[in-house]
A = this chain, B = another copy of it.
């Protein structure tokens, strides 16, 4: 039994009707030309969403985690050194994966709620005279904390240090929702999935590889077969796949890119910022604070909201689900119990966002938190009304 309510987890997102229909296909022969006519436009669409001219795009029947593994196993060898910051659950997990694959991870412990410390990176990279560091890992949007980091600043750190390391970016919860510029920022591998900004069901890892990343593939000695991009590239060149492709999701991705690109990426980002702004206005009206410590770190795809000291934030998520059949996200890792999360990425309307805010509000009131009914909703309404007017004036 499924709910009629929208969901407010930070992905997978609410799937628009047209995309559900694009994914729900009868079986086709994936070795026939029909498949190529879905695959290549999807690859091309992803390139545009990544804002890259020359990167090669790969689509694996997998998830963002599989995307990370694709990135490291195709470019690195056991013992290779990578630099990362640990500022949330997802950066933590990527670091853990590197360690399990025998890489030497130099990671900067960073408070959860902070972004990637580009200045610290610059110091470390500058100090690495021998260029032992092969890759810098960066989590663009920390889904656990609702923090967006400045990838351009990480690129500047690399450049300032004159360091040749590759730059790998986890854009799982940013790409398609917030500005992402693969070429401008000199990103070598971008990783995302189908179930966030692309608004599809989970099941696809989506990657872009720069020419520099491609050049690293032949010498990489980490074993891989399923995730080997060489087999994938060979397949694509023949309009095929090295194994059975997830045809419905690829058809869906093709339609999702069309949808994002015809709306216009900048409009998509503005829409996310606008919806997120309403949620943030509600949080302020409730007298609560975000986990993200500064406005320039606020994510437009997910807000992690700190609850008062001593209150277990998980109760909010359980109560909302049990009483109002509405799904929010719990806190993960170091912020477990301290925050709850409202996901606001993908295709959301004002009305949907207001329903989430209204339920969060009722839930907190039910649980005895000092939140006035209607207060967050009113703040969000005010925000949406003003921004609607602004949009109309601009249009």
Contacts and interface: CB of A to CB of B under 8 A. Distances in A.
Contacts of A348: 4
Interface of A: 1-7, 9, 11-18, 20-21, 23-32, 34, 61-66, 68-69, 78, 96-97, 100-102, 193, 195, 201-203, 222-228, 242-249, 321, 323-327, 329-330, 347-352, 354-356, 358-359, 361-362, 365-366, 372-375, 377-378, 381-382, 384-385, 388
Contacts of A355: 351-352, 354-355, 358
Contact of A4 (B223, B349, B366): B349
B327 A32 contact: yes
**Closest 7 pairs between A and B when the two form their complex, measured CB to CB:** A374-B378, A374-B374, A29-B327, A355-B355, A373-B378, A65-B243, A354-B358
A61 B246 CA distance: 10
Contact of A225 (B16, B18, B69): B69
A335 to B, nearest CB: 15
A356 B362 contact: no
Given A13-B27, A14-B27, A323-B388, A65 B225 contact: yes
Given A2-B17, A365-B385, 18 more contacts: A5-B349, A12-B244, A14-B26, A24-B24, A27-B201, A31-B329, A32-B327, A61-B202, A65-B226, A96-B225, A101-B223, A226-B227, A351-B358, A354-B358, A373-B377, A373-B378, A374-B374, A374-B375
B321 A29 contact: yes
6 contacts: A3-B26, A61-B61, A78-B223, A203-B249, A324-B388, A351-B356
Main secondary structure of the interface of A (DSSP, over half): loop
Contacts of A31: 9, 327, 329-330
Contacts of A32: 321, 327
A379 to B, nearest CB: 8
Contact of A352 (B5, B25, B64): B5
A244 B349 contact: no
A202 B2 CA distance: 23
B3 A349 contact: yes
Given A202-B61, A378-B373, A9 B24 contact: no
Contacts of A351: 5-6, 324-326, 355-356, 358-359
B349 A362 contact: no
B4 A30 contact: no
Contacts of A29: 7, 9, 321, 327
Given A65-B242, A324-B351, A354-B359, A27 B12 contact: yes
A62 B61 contact: yes
A377 B5 CA distance: 17
Contacts of A101: 223, 225
A291 to B, nearest CB: 18
A86 to B, nearest CB: 16
A167 B163 CA distance: 48
Contacts of A373: 377-378, 381-382
Most buried by B among A34, A61, A249: A61
Contacts of A18: 1
Most buried by B among A102, A350, A384: A350
A4 B354 contact: no
Nearest to A366: B385
A1 B16 CA distance: 10
A362 B381 contact: yes
